[in-house]
Amino acid sequence: MESRVIGGDREQGEVTDFYQRLVYPSRVSDERYAGLARIKSGEMIADFGCGQSLFYESFRNHRPKPVFFDISDSCLRTIYYGFRVRGDIQHLPFADKTFDKIFCIGVIHHVPDPRAAIQETYRVLKKGGLFVMGVYSDKGFQPRFRYLYDRMGIMRGLGFRMGKRILTHHHRSRGSPLTRGEIESRASDWLETPVVRYMPEGRWLDLLEGCGFEVDVPKRKRISTMEIFTSRRKNGSD
């Protein structure tokens, strides 16, 4: 199931404008993301499409300074350490084989050309470098409601209110209630992002492997609405 799968500069501009306006009022995130950030001193690491960064606390004392990369300078201004770089993940402003580890959660499903984004990530990873990618699962309620929402027409206002109620109930049931502002922002991120994909795991695997990555299938996991893929740039690759 895919919603507004489109490409080109105009669509990328829409995504940029959307995330320039959308900044969460807090850094609430699933603590399991911290478990993904197994990093060693001296490694060059980056958070691509960082937003306010799910790894903000995990990277805080790392040396050398981590790179936080995002298309939105509104989000980057909320980060107070490391190197903050604004740009498009489809055209990365970094030299070949720069990073030891790259984390990219909740980003590539919003990119008009996901293959270009994965190829660019591959280019800037060192041989044997680790890439941790999180993309929306195509299973469960979230993709189905987004698919319905995109077809609501004049009823979208009602759909958005329903979405906020669903999110409110979900977070309360988990014992992590959000403020009204947080619910509003998360509903916008879920329902109004201009470009979003919900693709089967196999298609993401094909993309990663087609771009040269070696995927560690046993390490695949799901965190909240994200399917997590752990892969490496092969040591023998150019």
Q: Where are the domains of the chain?
A: 2-137+198-233, 141-191
pLDDT above 70 covers a percentage of the chain that reads 95
Q: Cα 39 to chain center, whole Å? A: 19
Average pLDDT over residues 67-87: 94
CATH superfamily placement of domain 2-137+198-233: Vaccinia Virus protein VP39 (3.40.50.150)
Tell me how far apart the terminal alpha carbons of the chain are, to the nearest angstrom. Answer: 35
Q: Answer yes or no: is pLDDT of 172 > 70.
A: yes
Q: What does the block give as tokens for 16?
A: 């940029």
Q: What is the pTM of this model?
A: 0.91
What average pLDDT score do residues 114-121 get? 97
